[in-house]
Chain A
Amino acid sequence: MQHWFGYLQLIFEGALLTAQLTVLGCALALFMAIIAGLARMSKVKAISIAATCYIEFFRGTSIFVQLFWAYFVLPLVGIPVSPFLAGVLALGLNVGAYGAEVVRGAVQSIDKGQSEAALALNLTPYQRMRHVILPQAFVIMLPTFGNNAIELLKGTAVVSLISLADMTFQSQVVRAQTGSTAIPFLTILILYFMMAMVISRGIRALERHLSDGLDVTK
C-alpha cells in the first residue's frame, strides 16, 4: 500500500503540469481567438486574409502535426522551443483558431443599433468594440469557450508525445513500473473529470455574473 503514495504523487505532479498547460493554453487561445476573430472582419483585405489563413490552417491540420512542428521544426529554423512552450503554442494556436469563429459570430450577432448608438456618442472604432460590442459579445461566446477550454484540457494529453511529463505521461510511467493499469488510469480519469468540472462550473458562474441585464438565454 505504502508505495502507492509515491506513484500517486507522480500523477499529481503530472496533473499540475496538465493544469498549467490548460491555463496558459487557454490564455493564448483566448488572445488568438479575439485577435483573429476581429481581424477576420477587418475592412483591410490583407488583415482579414491573414486571419483567414491562420484560422483555416490550424483548423485544417491535426494538433499532433502542429505540436511536432512546434517542437521539432521551429528549433531547426533557429527558434529554440522548450517542450512546455511547444505544448502551449500548439494547444493555444489550435484552439484559438476555433475560438476565432466564435468571436466573429458573437460580434456579428450584436444588434447594429449598439454600435450606431456608440458612434453617435462619438466613440472611436476601438472604443466601440472595446466598451460596447465585446462586453456583450463575450457573454455569448462564453458557453462555447467553455467547451473549447475542455477540449483544450483533453488535448493536453498529446504533449506526452514530446515527452512532457503531464498527467497522461505520468500514468503511463506508473503503469510501466507497477504493472497496474486500473489504478493509474482510474486516477487520471477522475482527475480529468474534476478539472473539466472546474472549468464548466467556473464558466457558468462567470456567465451568470456577466449576463446581468443582458437578454441571453441562460
Chain B
Amino acid sequence: MVQPIIDIQSISKCFGDLTVLDNLSFQVAPGEKLALIGPSGSGKTTILRVLMTLETLTSGHVLIEDEQLWHMERGGKLVDADETHLHKMRNSIGMVFQHFNLFPHKTVLENVTLALRLVRGVAKKQADERALELLDLVGLADKRDQKPASLSGGQKQRVAIARALALEPKIMLFDEVTSALDPELVDEVLNVMRRLGEETDMTMLLVTHEMGFARDFADRVLFFDKGRIIESGPPEQIFTDPQEERTRTFLRKVLSAGVSRAESAAVAI
C-alpha cells in the first residue's frame, strides 16, 4: 500500500465496562473510498467519531498523514493532544452526520459560509461565492436564503454535505447519511456522494446500510462486528464471496430485509 492517509494502530475504546472498539488496526490510502458495514452497535460510528475527535481513545494511536491525531510530542515523549493540536489536525477532516445537524438559526448559505468566515477568515463576498459553488454542486443554490426547517430531509443532507466540503477536507466521514431519510429521498443524496467520488480525490469513509451503494461506490469494504474487523476486501468479494460465517449471516439479513430500502435502513440487526 502507498503511504496511508489514515493509519489506525491498535485502538481501543471503552465506555465503562463496554468495549466498543477492540484493539483495532487498519489503514486507508489517499483517495480511497472505504465502506464500513456491520450490525448496529458494532462500533462503526465510534470509529468515525474518534477520527473527527468527537470521542477520545482509551488506548492506541491514530496517524493522519503521518502525524499523531490524539497525541503530540513533548520533550521526546508522546502526550495527549491539547486543543491547539486537535484544532490543527481537524483541518484535514470533515464529517456528515446521520441527523444532518444543520444550524437551524442560519440560512442555507450561512450554514455553508460559517466555517469559511470563522475558521479561515474568508471575506463575506468570497465566502458567499464559494458557498454558492458548493450549493450548486449539490443542486441547492436556489435555496440559499431559506432556513433549514423549510427543506426536505434529502435537501438538508445535501446542504450538510456542502457545509462539510467548504473547508476542503482531505478526509470526509459519512455516518449513515441516508438512514434518517424517507426512501424516495435517498437517491438524491447518494447521487451527490457518487459525484464527489468521481470528481474529487477526497478520501471517503462511509458507514452505510445501503449495500447496493457500498458495492458500486467503495474501493474496499470493512465488515465489523463487536468492535473488530471480521473481514475486509473489495466489494465484489465481500458481497459475493464472503469468507466468514458472520459476514454471510449479516449480509443475508440485510439483503433479504433490503428488498425495500426503507426496511433496510430501519432494520435492527
Contacts and interface: CB of A to CB of B under 8 A. Distances in A.
Interface size class of B (residues with CB under 8 A): 20 to 34
Contacts of B18: none
A213 B122 CA distance: 26
A124 B54 contact: no
Given A117-B97, A117-B102, A213-B149, 14 more contacts: A113-B97, A113-B101, A116-B97, A117-B103, A118-B103, A119-B54, A121-B94, A121-B167, A122-B91, A136-B105, A213-B105, A213-B148, A214-B105, A215-B104
Nearest to B91: A122
Interface stretch (B33-41, B112-120, B185-193, B237-245): B112-120
Contacts of A114: 101, 103
Interface string A113-157: 110111111111101000110011001000000000000000000
B23 to A, nearest CB: 26
Interface of B: 52-54, 83, 87, 90-91, 93-95, 97, 99, 101-105, 114-115, 118-119, 147-150, 160, 163-164, 166-167
List the 9 closest A-B pairs by CB distance, nearest first. Answer: A213-B147, A117-B101, A121-B115, A113-B101, A120-B95, A122-B90, A213-B149, A122-B119, A135-B105
B104 A213 contact: yes
Nearest to A212: B147
A200 to B, nearest CB: 23
A118 B166 CA distance: 13
A123 B115 contact: yes
A119 B53 contact: yes
A118 B106 CA distance: 13
B114 A121 contact: yes
Interface in A187-216: 210, 212-215
Interface of A: 111, 113-114, 116-125, 127, 131-132, 135-136, 139, 210, 212-215
Contact of B104 (A123, A125, A136): A136
B119 A123 contact: yes
6 contacts: A116-B54, A120-B94, A122-B91, A122-B115, A125-B83, A210-B105
Nearest to A136: B105
B87 to A, nearest CB: 6
Contacts of B114: 121, 123, 131
A120 B119 contact: no
B163 to A, nearest CB: 7
Given A121-B163, A121-B167, A125-B83, A116 B101 contact: yes
Nearest to B116: A121
Contacts of B119: 121-123, 127
Contacts of A120: 52, 54, 90, 93-95, 97, 164
Nearest to B87: A122
A118 B90 CA distance: 12
Candidate in B53, B114, B160, B164 with the most chain A CB atoms within 10 angstroms: B114
A212 to B, nearest CB: 6
Contacts of A111: 101
Contacts of A214: 104-105, 149
Given A113-B97, A120-B94, A214-B104, A127 B118 contact: yes
Contacts of A116: 54, 97, 101
B39 to A, nearest CB: 23
Contacts of A131: 114, 118
B38 to A, nearest CB: 22
A117 B53 CA distance: 11
